[in-house]
């Protein structure tokens, strides 16, 4: 187990290093590079710019600059926002909560509905339900999230008046029920793609297990079909879903950005878009790096959990 | 979803015409055919449609602003400026489909080059390339697209490059896995023994044998590219007005959701139809070309 853990951890650190290099490269691609803040204003002459270049050490070799940048990132100094001079990490932390709330609640919803669709689809394979579910998941994977959001707002907020059309809570209210009421719309919208992914993989995972020898043995022993499904098949079929959930973090984050925009949800995605329109590069880069770290942690955590849930994987070292 | 006969034989419970094997194949096949026909029709409509319409996409009919669909001379209604939505939809389709196709070609080019190189030269070069692919995949697509689009001047070619830059990694993974396994086969070793050059083995021996998954990946990649374009255009960083695209037609639609919902419904439906069609074709091709391949 420890060998497996160590190996995965080393891989993650290596990836993080490459990720940071890509981030650094993008930062230096910005018009004016890290100087864009000063260059954009236009009231600086070349002498002033040269002095700032000297002060910030931008005339040193790139590897040296990279090492220093990496060191500052690791020690938690992610720079200051151009907009309000707040530390970037501080700003991100302030917007993380709403995003996590959205991501976790929609993942939970997607797990429940997606697993249910996948299980029924696998048990009643090629039935009418299965055919409709297969087509439905394909369409769900093809719908642009923002458009689905607009449709949900149009039907449930504009048409039926059941749901609020945006924001996290009504100003002046903010009770638990009020927050829950505001969460329903964005949660459904973000859960659409995850539900489709879950049901597709759940179905194929169930089918993989249903045809294994131990299931046939259980059938031969005369174990009731329901018990076979719930105890033998489902438990084994759920194992690979740990990995699927871990690997789904990037598209969940992308979906969250769009959902937050449509529902004016005050999360990290909205912050990212706002920062882009203000050309607030430190915050843009900070969030980009932060999401990459979240993705890495997601897949690392999934691997570790899989190792705990299924010790065969950890022992074989994959 | 696999056509493995042992799987099909086992849980044969509700057998009937609907469930017969031939019907099942035909149904899956039917979706792919539906997708292909839709793509062809959409392409034809976008190429030739604007010439047949009485209105151009830039004509401003000031007395007919916010005309709802099916209510007057404008079949799909008009937008806040009084422009014909059908004409705009078809012109936007030209851009969106062309961006999707061009981005796919570029992404396939990068992905195949990286995948073949990594799969052929294993060891340090292969590992370095594939770790780079892994690292690129750590960035959520939309975040990466928006971050880079903030740094460049948006234009149709630059958006194509941007989408290709962020969508070649899956292709590289598929190709790398194929080339790595093909490289150990007898015909590849025979080519080495005959003294073929590395480039010749890669391009003439290995690549043609990996064509099936590449075709599947290319089809799915078009769907991905059309979606990506719509996302960044909707958010205001993709194709810039006055050039219409399906994504930027939706850009301001949210503010008119109460008064003119068709502004949001129509372009979104076009995107969904196009993306679903490409996905159906890709899925069908995967079944037809390589039944062993797993889900996406």
**For residue B175, pLDDT beyond 80:** yes
**For residue B96, pLDDT beyond 90:** yes
**For residue A33, pLDDT beyond 50:** yes
- Please name the residues between 231 and 250 in chain B that touch chain A, using a CB distance below 8 Å: 231, 234-237, 247, 250
Distance CA B80, CA A312 (A): 62
DSSP secondary structure code for residue B73 in this structure: S
**For residue B110, pLDDT beyond 90:** yes
pLDDT attached to residue B12: 42
What is the tens place of the pLDDT at every residue in B237-252?
A: 888 888 889 988 888 7
Name, in order, each residue with C-beta under 8 angstroms of A197's C-beta and a sequence gap of 6 or more.
A110, A114, A141, A244, A248, A251
Name, in order, each residue with C-beta under 8 angstroms of B213's C-beta and a sequence gap of 6 or more.
B174, B175, B178, B289, B290, B293
Residues linked to residue B78 through DSSP beta bridges, in sequence order = B84
Token pair belonging to B217: 């990946």
**For residue B20, pLDDT beyond 70:** no
Residue closest to B146 by CA, chosen among A56, A261, A266: A261
Q: Does A25 touch chain B (CB under 8 A)?
A: no
DSSP secondary structure code for residue A157 in this structure: I
Q: Does A273 touch chain B (CB under 8 A)?
A: yes
**For residue A104, pLDDT beyond 90:** yes
Question: Which of A13-17, A78-82, A103-107, A232-236 ranks highest by mean pLDDT?
Answer: A103-107
pLDDT attached to residue B164: 94
Whole-number average pLDDT of chain B: 82
Token pair belonging to B176: 């790398």
Residue of B nearest to A36 (CA): B151
Nearest Cα of chain B lies from the Cα of A224 at a distance, in angstroms, of 15
Token pair belonging to B171: 């292709």
Token pair belonging to A226: 């329901």
Longest dimension (CA), chain A: 87
Question: At B218, which helix (H) or strand (E)?
Answer: helix B211-234
Whole-number average pLDDT of chain A: 83
**Residue A123: C-alpha distances to residues A45, A126, B19, B233 (Å):** 72, 9, 14, 42
pLDDT attached to residue B11: 43
Q: Is A288 in Cβ contact with B144 (below 8 Å)?
A: yes
Q: Is A279 in Cβ contact with B295 (below 8 Å)?
A: no
Token pair belonging to B132: 């780079």
Token pair belonging to A277: 């329109």
Residue of B nearest to A201 (CA): B295
**Residue B294 burial (CB count, 10 A):** 11
**For residue A228, pLDDT beyond 60:** yes
Ranges A59-73, A213-227, B146-160: which has the least confidence: A59-73
Q: Is B235 in Cβ contact with A273 (below 8 Å)?
A: yes
What is the tens place of the pLDDT at every residue in A142-183?
A: 999 999 999 998 888 888 878 787 777 777 776 777 787 788
Distance CA B214, CA B12 (A): 34
Q: Does A146 touch chain B (CB under 8 A)?
A: yes
Give me the residue from B6, B14, B231 closest to A146, CB to CB. B231
pLDDT attached to residue B15: 52
**Residue A288: C-alpha distances to residues A73, A273, A285, B133, B231 (Å):** 13, 11, 5, 17, 17
**For residue B2, pLDDT beyond 90:** no
Q: What angle do CA B35, A187, A125 make, to 5 degrees?
A: 45
**For residue B54, pLDDT beyond 90:** no
Of residues A315 and A132, the one with the higher pLDDT is A132
Residue A195 in contact with residue A151, Cβ under 8 Å? no
Residue B289 in contact with residue B282, Cβ under 8 Å? no
**For residue B150, pLDDT beyond 80:** no
Nearest Cα of chain B lies from the Cα of A104 at a distance, in angstroms, of 17
pLDDT attached to residue B25: 56
pLDDT attached to residue A139: 92
pLDDT attached to residue B241: 82
Give me the residue from A154, A201, A204 closest to B257, CB to CB. A154
Q: Does B262 touch chain A (CB under 8 A)?
A: no
Give me the residue from A15, A276, A279 closest to B131, CB to CB. A15
Q: Give the pLDDT mean for A81-90.
A: 83
Q: Is A138 in Cβ contact with B283 (below 8 Å)?
A: yes
Q: A-B interface: how many C-beta pairs under 8 angstroms?
A: 156
ipTM: 0.85
Residue closest to A248 by CA, chosen among B141, B37, B201: B141
pLDDT attached to residue B152: 79
pLDDT attached to residue A253: 93
pLDDT attached to residue B6: 40
Residues A77-100 as b or e (16 or more Cβ within 10 Å = b): ebbbbbeeeebbeebbeebeebbe
A-chain residues within 8 Å CB-CB of B253? Answer: 150
**For residue A262, pLDDT beyond 80:** yes
- Please name the residues between 142 and 201 in chain B that touch chain A, using a CB distance below 8 Å: 142-144, 146-148, 150-151
**Residue A135 burial (CB count, 10 A):** 14
Q: What angle do CA A76, A81, A82 make, to 5 degrees?
A: 150
Q: How many percent of chain B have pLDDT more than 70?
A: 86
DSSP secondary structure code for residue B67 in this structure: P
Report the Cα A276 to chain-centroid distance in Å: 19
Name, in order, each residue with C-beta under 8 angstroms of B48's C-beta and a sequence gap of 6 or more.
none
- Please name the residues between 196 and 215 in chain B that touch chain A, using a CB distance below 8 Å: none
What is the DSSP secondary-structure string of B88-147?
A: HHHHHHHHHHHHHHHHHHHHHHHHHHHHHHHHHSTTHHHHHHHHHHHHHHHS-HHHHHHH
- Ranges of H-type helices in A158-248: 176-210, 213-221, 225-227, 234-247
**For residue B23, pLDDT beyond 80:** no
**Residue A133 burial (CB count, 10 A):** 20
What is the tens place of the pLDDT at every residue in A4-16?
A: 778 888 888 899 8
């Amino acid at each position: 187990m420890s060998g497996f853990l160590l190996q995965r951890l080393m891989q993650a650190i290596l990836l993080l290093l490459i990720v940071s290099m890509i981030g650094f490269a993008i930062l230096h691609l910005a018009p004016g590079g890290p100087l864009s803040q000063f260059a954009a204003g236009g009231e600086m002459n070349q002498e002033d710019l040269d002095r700032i270049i000297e002060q910030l050490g931008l005339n040193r070799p790139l590897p040296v600059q990279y090492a220093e940048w990496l060191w500052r990132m690791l020690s938690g100094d992610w720079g200051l926002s151009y907009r309000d001079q707040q530390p970037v990490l501080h700003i991100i932390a302030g917007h993380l909560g709403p995003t996590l709330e959205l991501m976790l609640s929609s993942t939970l919803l997607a797990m429940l509905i997606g697993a249910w669709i996948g299980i029924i689809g696998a048990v009643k394979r090629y039935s009418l339900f299965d055919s409709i579910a297969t087509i439905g998941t394909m369409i769900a994977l093809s719908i642009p999230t923002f458009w689905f959001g607009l449709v949900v707002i149009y039907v449930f907020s504009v048409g039926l008046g059941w749901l609020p059309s945006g924001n996290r809570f009504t100003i002046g209210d903010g009770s638990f029920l009020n927050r829950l009421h505001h969460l329903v719309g964005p949660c459904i919208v973000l859960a659409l793609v995850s539900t489709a992914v879950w049901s597709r993989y759940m179905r194929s995972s169930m089918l993989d297990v249903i045809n294994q020898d131990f299931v046939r043995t259980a059938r031969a022993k005369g174990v009731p079909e329901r018990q076979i499904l719930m105890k033998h098949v489902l438990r084994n079929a759920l194992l690979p879903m740990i990995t699927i959930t871990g690997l789904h973090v990037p598209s969940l984050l992308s979906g969250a950005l769009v959902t937050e925009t449509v529902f004016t949800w005050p999360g990290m995605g909205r912050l990212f878009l706002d920062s882009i329109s203000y050309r607030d590069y430190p915050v843009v880069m900070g969030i980009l790096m932060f999401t990459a770290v979240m993705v890495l942690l997601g897949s690392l955590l999934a691997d570790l959990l899989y190792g705990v849930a299924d010790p065969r994987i950890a022992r074989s070292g994959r | 979803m696999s056509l493995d006969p042992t799987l099909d034989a086992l849980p044969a419970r509700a057998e009937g015409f609907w469930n017969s094997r031939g019907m099942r194949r035909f149904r899956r096949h039917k979706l792919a055919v539906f997708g292909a026909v839709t793509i062809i029709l959409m392409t034809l409509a976008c190429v030739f449609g604007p010439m047949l319409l009485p209105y151009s996409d830039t004509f401003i009919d000031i007395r007919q602003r916010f005309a709802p669909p099916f209510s007057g001379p404008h079949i799909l209604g008009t937008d806040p400026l009084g422009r014909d939505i059908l004409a705009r939809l078809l012109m936007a389709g030209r851009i969106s489909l062309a961006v999707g196709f061009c981005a796919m070609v570029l992404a396939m080019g990068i992905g195949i080059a990286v995948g073949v190189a990594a799969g052929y030269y294993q060891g340090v070069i292969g590992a370095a390339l594939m770790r780079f692919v892994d690292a690129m995949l750590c960035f959520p697509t939309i975040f990466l697209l928006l971050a880079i689009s903030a740094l460049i001047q948006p234009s149709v070619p630059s958006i194509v490059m941007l989408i290709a830059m962020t969508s070649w990694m899956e292709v590289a993974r598929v190709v790398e896995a194929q080339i790595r396994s093909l490289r150990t086969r007898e015909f590849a070793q025979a080519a080495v023994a005959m003294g073929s050059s590395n480039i010749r083995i890669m391009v003439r021996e290995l690549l043609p044998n990996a064509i099936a998954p590449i075709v599947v990946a290319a089809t799915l990649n078009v769907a991905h590219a059309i979606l990506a374009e719509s996302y960044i255009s909707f958010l205001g960083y993709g194709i810039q007005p006055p050039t219409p695209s399906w994504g930027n037609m939706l850009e301001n639609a949210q503010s008119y959701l109460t008064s003119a919902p068709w502004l949001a419904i129509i372009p979104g439906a076009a995107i969904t139809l196009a993306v679903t069609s490409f996905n159906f074709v890709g899925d069908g091709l995967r079944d037809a070309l390589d039944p062993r391949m797993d889900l996406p």
